[in-house]
Every structure is written in C-alpha cells, then in structure tokens.
Amino acid sequence: MNAYFHRQIQLWGEETQQNLQKKEIAIIGCGGLGCSLGIALGSSGIGTIHLIDFDKVEVHNIHRQIAFTKEDVGAYKCEALAKTIESRSDFVTTKPFIGDFEAFTQTGIVPDLIIDATDNLPVRATIDTFAKSVQRPWLYGSVEAFHGQVCFFEESDFSAFNISDKAPAGIAAPIVMFIASLQANLALRYLAGLAIQKDLLYYLYFDNAGELITQKFKMPKK
C-alpha cells in the first residue's frame, strides 16, 4: 500500500490514506463522467465504490468514456468499469449494480458520498431527495459541448434548477474528463477530511474567443 500510494502519503500521511480505505461511495452513471470518476477515485484509495448503471457499452461511447475499449461493446457499463478500476489497484472493491438509481435506493446501502455522473436532471432531483433523507452529501456534475458545472450539495436544494427531460447536445471528450476531475478532487478532499466549499456551483466554459471562464454561484437553501 505504501508503495502504491507513495505520492499521496507524502501529501497527507499514512493515517489519512488508511482512512480512505474505510470510505464507501456510490457513482450514479458509468458513462463519461462515471468512467473518469471511477478511475480517479479507485486509484486514490477509496475502499468501496458502488457503480450504478443499466446501460451497455456502445461504440459511440468509447471516445469519451475512457474506461472502455472496443472489446467492451455489448457489456454492461458498470461491470466493464468495475473491471478496469480493479485492474489498476488492489486496494479498492467495486460493486457494480445493474439497474437505475431508484432501484439502488431500495438496497439499504447508505454510502459516505453519492456522486452524480448522469445526464438526466430528473434523476439528479431524485438523488438530492434521497441524499437529504439519509443525511448524506452528494456531488453534482454535468457537461455539454465545451462547458460544465459542478456543485457539492449539502444544505442547498437542487430544486433551484429547472428540472426537465432535456438531453445534452454534442460533447467534446476532454471537457468530460475536466469536469470529472473537478468532481473527483472535491470528493477526495472531502473524504480525506480536507476543507472544501459546499453548496457552491462552479460553472466553467470557453467563451467565443476561446478563453476559459470560471464562475461561482452560491446555491440557495430550500
């Protein structure tokens, strides 16, 4: 363990790294965001990762869903992602769940942190309701075109968003990894006991001149 996590142990010590082994998270969705999140957090020492998804890998997924190869086409995403995560680290247990989030909530599992990696606003509203009911925080993330949003929800309410069934437009592959990386950093800092800003929406986008703009908005409480 000390050899594998050498650089992280330099950052925060053996005790914090060992404590990460006791943490349990759920990643809802194993597409673009979910793949990058799973690899980043599985390789960082989170002990147990639940992977919730009912879709199978299709060829058009592969360019931005970095855990998959052409050989994974037709496999369930949660199972293919679990295989990739565990192939990279001996210090993580993955638990794929083939089904939707509502079905997962019926299992009685209450993780330390719930991470949204869906592309569906109604499901995010359901995640928020469940997280509040079990008194757990959750991490929202979304991507479209060249922009994305991230928020660590604790006390604020997702109803501030206009909930609709709008599907995302085209997506550039790198922005998916960019937003997932921000989510993963917030998740890792929180689980390691480091300070983070909660209930603050980060909105990142490239303007017409190609400049990266970052805006922050305090989310309202219910």
Alpha-carbon dihedral sign for residues 44, 111, 180, 182 = negative
The answer as to whether 46 is a domain residue is yes
- Structural domains of the chain, count: 1
CA 172 to chain centre: 18
Task: Calculate Rg over the CA atoms of the chain.
Answer: 17
In a domain, 4, yes or no: no
Residue 56, domain member (yes or no): yes
Question: Is residue 10 situated within a structural domain?
Answer: no
Q: Rounded to the nearest 5°, which phi and psi values hold at 184?
A: -65, -40
Q: What is the pLDDT of residues 178-216, one digit of tens each?
A: 999 999 999 999 999 999 999 999 999 999 999 999 999
User: Would 51 be classed as within a structural domain?
Assistant: yes
Q: Please, what's the largest Cα pairwise distance for the chain? A: 49
Residue 6 lies in a domain: no
Using the predicted structure, report yes or no on whether residue 166 has a pLDDT greater than 80. Answer: no
Q: What are phi and psi of 209, to 5 degrees?
A: -90, 0
Rounded distance, CA 129 to CA 120, Å? 15
Kindly state the average pLDDT of the residues 149-165: 84
Q: How many residues does the chain have?
A: 222
The whole-angstrom separation of Cα 86 and Cα 94 is: 7
Prediction pTM value = 0.95
Give the separation between CA 196 and CA 40, rounded to whole angstroms.
18
DSSP character at residue 177: H
What does pLDDT average to over the chain? 94
pLDDT in tens, 95-143: 999 999 999 999 999 999 999 999 888 999 999 999 999 999 999 999 9
**Domain region containing 55:** 23-218
Find the CATH number of the domain harbouring 91.
3.40.50.720
Nearest in space to 33 (alpha carbons), one of 69, 61, 75, 70: 61
Q: Looking at residue 167, what is its pLDDT? A: 65
